[in-house]
Amino acid sequence: MLGLGIGGFIDGIVLHQLMGWHHMLSGWYPDDEHVNMIGDGLFHLGCLVIVVIGVLLLSRTRPVPPRELIGWMIVGWGVFNLVEGVIDHQILGVHHVRHGPGQFLYDLGFLALGVVLIVFGFVLARIPSARRGKQAENKGGRP
């Protein structure tokens, strides 16, 4: 949940706001800046709700090493890119990463980044920590 929300924030802040690409409703309302601003704002509000839910869920679970937490957040970011890229860019055509010539290539790059993030985050989250290794060693018969 944290990765989904944070991935959405990164997408919205970097691509929507800083680069001026990829507004939520630009495929349906390409010339209406006000509607696109409202769409982006609602999108950010949704991301905030997802992050808050993620924090609440995290607070109810076991302690997680920072590397593992960051890894799973990166996986969530990648899942966000894949879901948002397939549904909004390809199926609904709500918007594209960057409208104009080559927009399909930008969309494919966005999807590829999602796959890379998922793989990298999963590997990062699954690397055994030194602390877990010592705990397992202590359970192996040492007093």
Q: What is the pLDDT of residues 41-95, one digit of tens each?
A: 899 999 999 998 988 788 788 787 888 888 998 999 999 999 999 998 999 988 8
Helices (H), the chain: 2-10, 33-59, 66-84, 103-126, 130-139
Assess whether pLDDT exceeds 90 at residue 141.
no
Give residue 11's identity as a one-letter amino acid code.
D
CA distances from 40 to 33, 43, 47, 131, 138 (A): 10, 5, 10, 42, 51
Mean of pLDDT over the chain = 85
Name the residue range of residue 45's domain: 2-139
Angstrom distance (rounded) from CA 119 to CA 122:
5
Task: Provide the pLDDT confidence category of residue 142 given band limits of 50, 70 and 90.
Answer: very low
User: Which pLDDT value is given to residue 23?
Assistant: 81
Assess whether pLDDT exceeds 50 at residue 37.
yes
Instruction: Kindly report whether the global pTM for this prediction surpasses the value 0.75.
Output: no
**Torsion angle, alpha carbons of 132, 138, 141, 143, to 10:** -160
Q: How many domains does the chain have?
A: 1
